[in-house]
Structure 1
Amino acid sequence: MASFLRRKEALSRIYNSILHSKPSSLHRHQPFRSTFPSQSSNNYLFRVSAHPSFSKVHQASLFRNMSTVASIGSNKEGLKLLVTAGPRAQKMVGIWLFGSAAWVFSMVVLGGVTRLTRSGLSMTDWKFTGNLPPLTDEEWLQEFEKYKQSPEYRRVNKGMSIEDFKFIYWMEYAHRMWGRALGIMFALPFSYFLRKGYITLRLGLRLSTLFALGAGQGLIGWWMVKSGLEEPASEYVQPRVSPYRLAAHLTSAFIIYCGLFWTGLSVVMPEPPVESVAWARGAAKVRRIALPVSLLVGITAISGAFVAGNDAGHAYNTFPKMGDTWVPDDIFDMKPLIRNFFENTSTVQLDHRILATATLVSIGTLWWSTRKLEIHPAVRSLIGSTFGMAALQVTLGVSTLLSYVPVSLGTAHQAGALTLLTLVILLNHTVRRPSMSLLKSLPQVVKTA
């Protein structure tokens, strides 16, 4: 509000100086009569900015902020803000939501480290509220004895020392407690903002749903771990969690993250950055391509969960061929046929390779097809960044495969998937359709002279 008033005063001074120096040029325009500009006052701003006496610096500043000003000023004409207590409240809620999203991001990365270090099955029981870790040697021995009864110890870690057990236990314990801490960090500010009246009913319902999903995520996590504590069907099979349950756990985390990040963007940026009708049309063309590309990115990320759940990254550690062939002979060995796409190591890895390649090609096509479009510079920059991240993610995936899935590269690859998903969410939010009131207030093109 304060920054807008300063811009209003500066524009008024410029207008008055122009009016006094050339009374015939702008004598029909009226000065500001309201705090927020209406559609006619937006046209007034555009006409003043196009005047030769209006400096390029002031002009660039004006158009850079027009969409934000219009989004606030058009609230009475149909734009429904998620936070209505003013800019300060918007900033506070936005910081909280972005902080929560970053916390979920760290949870996904920590979960990847836990899985890659085979720490996820070290805790053989679970309590919703959590419990204290072992504090004495006797308590550590008791926990170790529980772990010795698990299939993973008998078939994989037999003879493990107590010190090695402590490492994997602490990894899993940190992952679980980090999730519980997120619940507290989310719930306390949520209660505060509700009490202050910052949050609208629509936002409150959305955040309540995300909070419920977060609480359910703990249950899904234990449901997943429990599958790894069961005796495998064959003595030649290593115990591991169900790939279906792992995919459900990861998908749930992705949904919570996307919901928090999108909502945070909607709070701090209620209108997309459009400054002309031409840019709005360009954004619409980008949107038609970006949405299916985003779905492909999400499907590729989820297919990675099945790669992890089947330990498929430890098979066929060659690229671009899988061993000596392009397509392994056993990709359809399981019956019924559908099982191969979720449980067959060869098929799961082949699917992930195809999906990753298709994702890179589709994002590259998006970048190529939008090179000559009239779009906001921020949109163009986002498309380039997304293409670069997709190329980096494919490079990380190939490097992880060729290196037999070391913890460092495997973790970076999982973080890269969520980073790429973040960029496509940001792109879709940036090119979303503006409100009708904002569209009506826009000039046909952005004039720079």
Structure 2
Amino acid sequence: MFRSRVVWSFVRRSKDLHGIYKLQGKSGLSKSSAEESFGHLTPGIARQCFHAFQSLPKGHHVPYARKMSNVAYAALENKEGLKLLVTAGPHAKKWVGIWLFGSAAWVFSMVVLGGITRLTRSGLSMTDWKFTGSLPPLSREEWLNEFEKYKQSPEYKRINRGMSLEDFKFIYWMEYAHRMWGRALGIMFALPFSYFLRKGYITLRLGLRLSALFALGAGQGLIGWWMVKSGLEEPPTEYAQPRVSPYRLAAHLTSAFAIYCGLLWTGLSIVMPEPPAESVAWIRGAAKVRRLVLPISLLVGVTAVSGAFVAGNDAGHAFNTFPKMGDTWIPDDIFDMKPLVRNFFENTSTVQLDHRVLATATLVSIATLWWSTRTLDIHPAVRYLIGNTAGMATLQVILGVSTLLSYVPVSLGAAHQAGALTLLTFMVMLNHTVRRPSMSLLKSLPQVAKAN
């Protein structure tokens, strides 16, 4: 059971104690009664709660539930080696956690919407950019003006020549929605952040971390426009299709993943300040899992970034066969570019081969993690996450192969990108769950967990 849940379990169970006000108002509470009431907590927390109740004045009955939860939360704050990110009580912890998880979900939707925008070739439809945004065209004249701007772009001249105004409106609305959804996220993040700061819910450490994430989010808009500008430039040869730089696309996607993981990790740290543990044996098992999870997480991240280079080079539209690439296992032209390193980022054949190899290595690594931890003595929550991670990795490979064989339809392509972020979500949660506990928690644990 999570340590924080233990404390709130104490609060809830205390409501059901016969005559809870007797604990607060009567001074004749014996040590044995206190142990019976607080025994399911760690000794340190129980002792602090007992002394807190003894110090309350006689006849003080309300609001007992709030005071009890504050006492329990304060006890957590005082634990050795544990620094809480939100110290204003359980109510503050709840709302800050909801806000951060909601922000992470919003970033998730942004990534999916960005993938749809790219797959529908809508990203180059808006040829200018303002940091604060602007209203969309509202009249026919405004629409024709935007369309004329687009007609000057290389994408229209080489790919969409003859496009109708109605078709242009579709790709324009897609890109406009993506940009405005990002700006709405900035507002949705900034307003609660200001409110929680004013209320004193957020510690200095948490405030600095969230400020860095907010700055990265603001910079994400600049990175996005920097990426789009590369697609508005004339291609190097008359035969090349206009598209955004794969390097800039990878930077844009990597930044979004970093913001998402930062929000998710911070939210988890608020609602679960201690990892789940009920025995020293489970902590030792988690340490063994942690040594395997860290390199696998790195592999998952590198595989996701390699997918950005696949998208940036339109490599998904080449070699639409599996497991072979065309008639061979390894294409002949994988090292044709000079210098050699360019092939790994710009050569269509090499980029797709890299992604296949990395995806296969990721699946094998996660399957190995699942197999090697079957007999480990670990917390059920850790085992559950490992199983779900293995299942998601399998589904992601199936989605990737299906997308390739189907010549990258929008639905499967977007699902594959969402799958990559979902797999990354499981890896973040798994890393957070097997992290090292505080010294105070370690000292209070039995050697072996009690059987249910």
**TM tier relative to shorter chain:** 0.7 to 0.9
Deviation larger for 33-42 or 341-350: 33-42
| 1:5 equivalent in alignment to 2:11 | yes
* Aligned match of 1:51: none
Task: Tell whether the 8 Å contact from 1:84 to 1:200 is kept in structure 2 after alignment.
Answer: yes
Measure, in 2, the Cα distance between the counterparts of 1:370 and 1:72.
34
| 1:229 equivalent in alignment to 2:232 | yes
The letter of the residue matching 1:206 is R
Deviation of 1:4 after TM superposition, in Å, equals 2.0
Give the number of the structure with larger relative contact order, counting CA–CA contacts within 8 Å between residues 6 or more apart. Answer: 1
Pick closer, same or farther for the CA change 1:322–1:39 going to 2, 3 Å: same
Task: Tell whether the 8 Å contact from 1:276 to 1:446 is kept in structure 2 after alignment.
Answer: yes
* Aligned match of 1:405: 408
Say which of 335, 343, 348 aligns to 2:338: 335
What are the superposed Cα offsets for residues 142-191 of structure 1, whole Å, 9 maximum, x if unpaired? 00000000000000000000000000000000000000000000000000
| 1:431 equivalent in alignment to 2:434 | yes
Pick closer, same or farther for the CA change 1:284–1:70 going to 2, 3 Å: farther
RMSD: 2.2
* Aligned match of 1:358: 361
* Aligned match of 1:146: 149
* Aligned match of 2:273: 270
What are the superposed Cα offsets for residues 20-67 of structure 1, whole Å, 9 maximum, x if unpaired? xxxxxxx995724998988536799xxxxxxxxxxxxxxxxxxxxxxx
* Aligned match of 2:211: 208
What are the superposed Cα offsets for residues 92-145 of structure 1, whole Å, 9 maximum, x if unpaired? 000000000000000000000000000000000000000000000000000000
* Aligned match of 1:256: 259
Measure, in 2, the Cα distance between the counterparts of 1:76 and 1:222.
47
Pick closer, same or farther for the CA change 1:285–1:12 going to 2, 3 Å: farther
Superposition pairs of residues 367-378 of structure 1, within 5 angstroms = 367-378=370-381
* Aligned match of 2:299: 296
Task: Tell whether the 8 Å contact from 1:272 to 1:431 is kept in structure 2 after alignment.
Answer: yes
* Aligned match of 2:420: 417
Deviation of 1:356 after TM superposition, in Å, equals 0.1
Task: Tell whether the 8 Å contact from 1:36 to 1:73 is kept in structure 2 after alignment.
Answer: no
* Aligned match of 2:177: 174
Say which of 240, 243, 248 aligns to 1:240: 243
In structure 2, runs of 5+ residues without a counterpart are 1-6, 20-29, 48-71
Measure, in 2, the Cα distance between the counterparts of 1:407 and 1:354.
24
What are the superposed Cα offsets for residues 210-236 of structure 1, whole Å, 9 maximum, x if unpaired? 000000000000000000000000010
Task: Tell whether the 8 Å contact from 1:227 to 1:241 is kept in structure 2 after alignment.
Answer: yes
Deviation larger for 296-305 or 34-43: 34-43
* Aligned match of 1:162: 165
Deviation of 1:8 after TM superposition, in Å, equals 4.7
Deviation of 1:77 after TM superposition, in Å, equals 2.2
Measure, in 2, the Cα distance between the counterparts of 1:205 and 1:248.
23
What are the superposed Cα offsets for residues 279-300 of structure 1, whole Å, 9 maximum, x if unpaired? 1111111111001101100000
Pick closer, same or farther for the CA change 1:141–1:363 going to 2, 3 Å: same
Pick closer, same or farther for the CA change 1:161–1:273 going to 2, 3 Å: same
Moved over 4 A (4+): 8-13, 27-30, 32-39, 41-44, 69-72
Measure, in 1, the Cα distance between the counterparts of 2:413 and 2:292.
30
| 1:309 equivalent in alignment to 2:312 | yes
Identity of matched residues, %: 81
- Figure out how many residues of one structure are paired with residues of the other and give that number: 412
TM-score relative to the length of structure 2: 0.87
TM-score relative to the length of structure 1: 0.88
In structure 1, runs of 5+ residues without a counterpart are 14-26, 45-68
The letter of the residue matching 2:217 is G
The letter of the residue matching 2:221 is G
Deviation of 1:448 after TM superposition, in Å, equals 2.2
Measure, in 1, the Cα distance between the counterparts of 2:404 and 2:16.
59
